[in-house]
Structure 1
Amino acid sequence: MDSIRSSQTTEGIQHISESVFVGLCCKVGTSQLVAMRRDVMDIREMVVNQVKTSEELSEMVSGSYGEGLRLKGSDIDFMYWPNDHRVIWDLSQSQYYNTHRQTLILCDCSDSPPGFTLLYLLSSSMYREIQRVCVRMNNRYYVSSSKYRQITLSEVSSPYNYLTPHGPCASGATGTQEYDHAYCFVSDLWPPSASLWIDRCHSWPQPHFVDDIVKNGCHFVAIGHKLGNHEDHEWRISFSRAEQKLVYVMNHCQFLTYSLLKLILTEIINNGVGDDDKLLCSYHMKTAVFWLIQQNTIPHWCPQNFLEGFWVCFKLILKWVYEGVCPNFFIPGNNMFLSKIHGVKQHQLFIRLSELYEKDLAFLLHSPSIRSCIIDVLYDPRNSIYTDDHTLISEVEFVKNVFDEILRQCLIPRQLDIQSCIRYLHTIEQMIGSPLLTQYQVLRLQNMIASVLQYTAFILHMETYTPDNKLSYRADKMSCHMLKLAAKFGFITDMLYIDMYYYKTHRYMKALSVIEMIKVKLSQPYVMYMDNVDTERYTEAVGGQSWSTKMRQAVAGVIILINRIHYITELIPEQQSALQNHEDVLCIPPLVLLYMLEILCYRHVDTMEAQIALGDLQTLVHYDQGQLIHLLLRDISWQILGICQQVTGNLQAALYSYQQSLRQEPFNKIQTATEMRIQRVCQWISFIN
Structure 2
Amino acid sequence: MSHSKTESLNFYTYLCQNIGSEAIVKARRLKCISSDFASSNNLFPCIYSGSRGEGLDLEGSDIDVMRICSSYVVYESDKYIVHNWLPVLVMDTEDSPPCFTQLELYSNVNNLPNIFKQQLQQHRGKHLLSSELYKSQLLEQICFFGLGVKLNMHGPCLSDINDNLDFAICLKCDKWVFQAQPWISRPRLIWPSPELISKITSCGTLFVPIGNKGSIHENLQWRISFSVAEKILIFSFSHTQLLCYALLKILLKEIVNREEELKGLLCSYFLKTLMFWISEENVTSVWRPDNIIPCFMACLKRLLYCIEYSTLLHYFIPDNNLLYLRFNNKQRNTLINILKQSYKKGIRVFSSSQTLHDYRRFPCETARSMCEKTLYTVIVSMREYFYSPFITNSLFLLFTLLNHCKSELSRYIFKQSLTRSYQQMPCPLPHVNNPNNKQQYKFYKLDLSQLLVGVQSDAASGWLILASFFYSHKNYLTSIDIIKYTLSKCADESSLSMITLKQKNTLKLMSLLPFPSVVFNKFKLNSVIPTELKSPHMFDLLMCISSIPFAHFLRFLCCYHLHDLRTIRYCISKLSETVIEYSHSREQDSLVIIYNFLLLGIAFQMLGETELARTYFRIAAQYDLNGVSSASFRLRQFC
Q: Same fold (TM over 0.5)?
A: yes
> 1:408 corresponds to which residue?
385
Q: Residues 219 and 607 (structure 1 numbering): CA distance in 2 closer, same or farther, change over 3 Å?
A: same
Deviation at 1:108, TM superposition (A): 1.6
User: Which residue of structure 2 aligns with residue 74 of structure 1?
Assistant: 61
Alignment-derived partner of residue 533 in structure 1 = none
Are the structure 2 counterparts of residues 107 and 314 from structure 1 closer, same or farther at C-alpha, using a change threshold of 3 Å? same
Residue 371 of structure 2 is matched in structure 1 by 394
Instruction: Give the AA of the match of 1:117.
Output: T
* Aligned 1:446-595 pairs, distance under 5 A: 446-458=415-427, 461=429, 472-522=440-490, 548=511, 550=513, 553-562=516-525, 567-573=529-535, 576=537, 585-595=542-552
- AA at the equivalent of 2:634: M
Give the alignment of 1:296-445 within 5 angstroms: 296=282, 299-341=285-327, 345-357=331-343, 362-373=348-359, 375-376=360-361, 385-386=364-365, 393-411=370-388, 421=390, 423-424=392-393, 426-428=395-397, 430-431=399-400, 433-434=402-403, 436-445=405-414
**In 2, Cα distance between equivalents of 1:478 and 1:430:** 25
The letter of the residue matching 1:46 is: F
User: 1:600/1:328 Cα in 2 relative to 1: closer, same or farther (>3 Å)?
Assistant: same
Three-state SS of the structure 1 residue aligned to 2:290 is helix
Aligned partners of 1:615 and 1:562: how far apart in 2?
21
Conserved in 1, the CA contact under 8 Å of 2:105 and 2:128? Answer: yes
> Do the aligned residues in 2 keep the contact of 1:492 with 1:552 (CA within 8 Å)?
no
Per the alignment, residue 39 of structure 1 pairs with 30
Partner of 2:634: 676
- Residue 293 of structure 1, aligned match among 279, 284, 303: 279
The answer to whether the 8 Å contact 2:175/2:202 transfers is: yes
| Deviating more after overlay: 250-259 vs 607-616 | 607-616
Query: Contact between 1:322 and 1:350, CA under 8 Å: does it hold in 2?
Result: yes
Q: 1:491 to 1:354 in 2, by over 3 A?
A: same
1:103 aligns with 2:87: yes
Is the 2:189–2:283 contact (alpha carbons within 8 Å) kept by the matching residues of 1?
no
Could you give the per-residue CA deviations for residues 363-391 of structure 1, whole angstroms, max 9, x where no partner exists?
A: 44443433432x449xxxxxx7347xx75
- Once the 2 structures are TM-superposed, how far is the Cα of residue 351 of structure 1 from its aligned partner? 4.6
Provide the residue aligned with 1:541 in structure 2.
Answer: none
Deviation at 1:251? Answer: 0.7
Could you state the TM-score of these two structures normalised by the residue count of structure 1? Answer: 0.79
Matched residue SS, 2:58: coil
* Structure 1 residue 144 displacement after superposition: 1.5
Q: Supply the distance in 1 between the matched residues of 2:489 and 2:11 (Cα, whole angstroms).
A: 41
Aligned pairs, number: 617
1:504 maps to a residue whose letter is: S
Deviation at 1:408, TM superposition (A): 1.9
2:170 is equivalent to residue 170 of structure 1: no
1:20 corresponds in structure 2 to: 11
- In structure 2, C-alpha distance between the alignment counterparts of 1:359 and 1:453, rounded to whole Å: 54
Q: Which amino acid aligns with 1:18?
A: L
Could you tell me how far apart the structure 1 residues matched to 2:267 and 2:49 are? 15
CA deviation digits over 1:112-143, x for unaligned, max 9? 22211111122226543521111223332111
Q: Contact 2:89 / 2:105 at 8 angstroms: preserved in 1?
A: yes
Q: Residue 245 and residue 518 in structure 1: after superposition, are their counterparts in 2 closer, same or farther (change >3 A)?
A: same
Deviation (angstroms), 1:38? 0.5
Are the equivalent residues in 1 in contact too, given 2:312–2:322 (CA < 8 A)?
Answer: yes
TM superposition shift of 1:250: 0.4
Shift of 1:592: 1.8
User: Does structure 2 retain, via aligned residues, the 8 Å contact 1:20–1:370?
Assistant: no
Deviations 1:629-686 (A, max 9, x none): 96444443343234334424555665665566567x5599677526735964xx8xxx
- State the Cα distance separating 1:478 from its structure 2 match: 2.5
**How far is 1:162 from its partner?**
2.8
Partners of 1:80 and 1:523 lie apart in 2 by 41
CA contact (8 A) 2:598 2:620 kept: yes
Contact 1:492/1:522, CA 8 A, preserved across alignment: no
Question: C-alpha distance in 2, partners of 1:467/1:35?
Answer: 50
Change (3 A) 1:157 1:364: same
In structure 2, the gaps of 5 or more residues are 493-507
Where in structure 1 are there 5+ consecutive unaligned residues? 1-9, 378-383, 413-420, 525-544, 684-689
Provide the aligned C-alpha RMSD in A.
3.7
Question: Residue in 2 aligned with 1:600?
Answer: 557
Structure 1 pair 349/99, CA: closer, same or farther in 2 (3 Å)? same
Does the aligned pair in 2 maintain the 1:60–1:80 contact within 8 Å? yes
Per-residue Cα deviation, 1:531-583 (whole angstroms, up to 9, x for no partner)? xxxxxxxxxxxxxx9873557831222342356x661111124x83856xxxx
Contact 2:102 2:221 in 1 (8 A): yes
Change (3 A) 1:391 1:253: farther
Q: 1:142 to 1:292 in 2, by over 3 A?
A: same
Match of 2:315, SS?
Answer: coil
Distance change >3 Å, CA 324–CA 668, structure 1 → 2: closer
Distance 1:44 1:592, change over 3 A: same
Q: Which moved more, 1:327-336 or 1:151-160?
A: 151-160
If the length of structure 2 is used for normalisation, what is the TM-score?
Answer: 0.85
C-alpha displacement at 1:422, in angstroms?
Answer: 5.7
Which amino acid in the other structure matches residue 378 of structure 2? N
SS at match of 1:314: helix
Are the counterparts in 2 of residues 635 and 667 from structure 1 also a CA contact under 8 Å?
Answer: no
Deviations 1:346-377 (A, max 9, x none): 4554454345445565544443433432x449
For 2:235 and 2:137, the matched residues in 1 are separated by: 34
Is the 2:601–2:612 contact (alpha carbons within 8 Å) kept by the matching residues of 1?
A: yes
In structure 2, relative to structure 1, the CA distance for the partners of 1:131 and 1:651 (3 Å cut) is closer
Tell me the distance in 2 between the aligned counterparts of 1:266 and 1:429. Answer: 38
Amino acid at match of 1:394: C
Q: For 2:122 and 2:575, how far apart are their aligned partners in 1?
A: 65
Residues 1:628 and 1:264: Cα distance change in structure 2 (over 3 Å): closer
Separation (CA, whole Å) in 1 of partners of 2:309 and 2:22: 35
Give the Cα separation in 2 of the matches to 1:67 and 1:258: 11
Match of 1:5 in 2: none
